[in-house]
Homo-oligomer: A and B are copies of this chain.
Amino acid sequence: MEQRIDRIKKQLHSQSYKLTPQREATVRVLLEHEDDHLSAEEVYMLVKEKYPEIGLATVYRTLELLTELKVVDKINFGDGVSRYDLRQEGADHFHHHLVCLECGAVDEIQEDLLGDVEKVVEKRWNFEIKDHRLTFHGICYRCRT
């Protein structure tokens, strides 16, 4: 935990940003909820427990900054809000998601399943892939009877 924060701190400094107390509190919330997919509002509520004076705008700005630094990914599952998802450290690809139509759960797939598909796309469509988003919609193992 502390090491990860330290690395994020260095990453910020390398672009001459500071790790202010507000930003650190926000990062901590994200690390503590690594498996969730929190909205900005949800992050705000949780950060307030650590740092009650923080404003919503600061949370939005911090999340935007972290997105820019590729510490988090901003994703959208079709409900009206953006959600923020911590990247795996050192992962060269963005993980995939399983969204359950029954219970709404969002599970993650860390494995890279798209290696072969990406080769095909790069070659056949002459497209230089930088990133991808893959989401499956269906029924999760919990809801299958």
Contact = CB atoms under 8 A, between A and B. Distances in A.
Interface string A104-145: 000101000110111011000111111111111111110010
A74 interface: yes
Counting chain A residues whose Cβ lies within 8 A of the other chain, the interface size class is 20 to 34
A138 B140 CA distance: 31
A127 B98 contact: yes
12 contacts: A101-B130, A107-B125, A113-B121, A117-B117, A127-B139, A128-B138, A128-B139, A130-B138, A132-B136, A133-B134, A133-B137, A134-B135
Interface of A: 74, 76, 78, 98, 101, 107, 109, 113-114, 116-118, 120-121, 125-141, 144
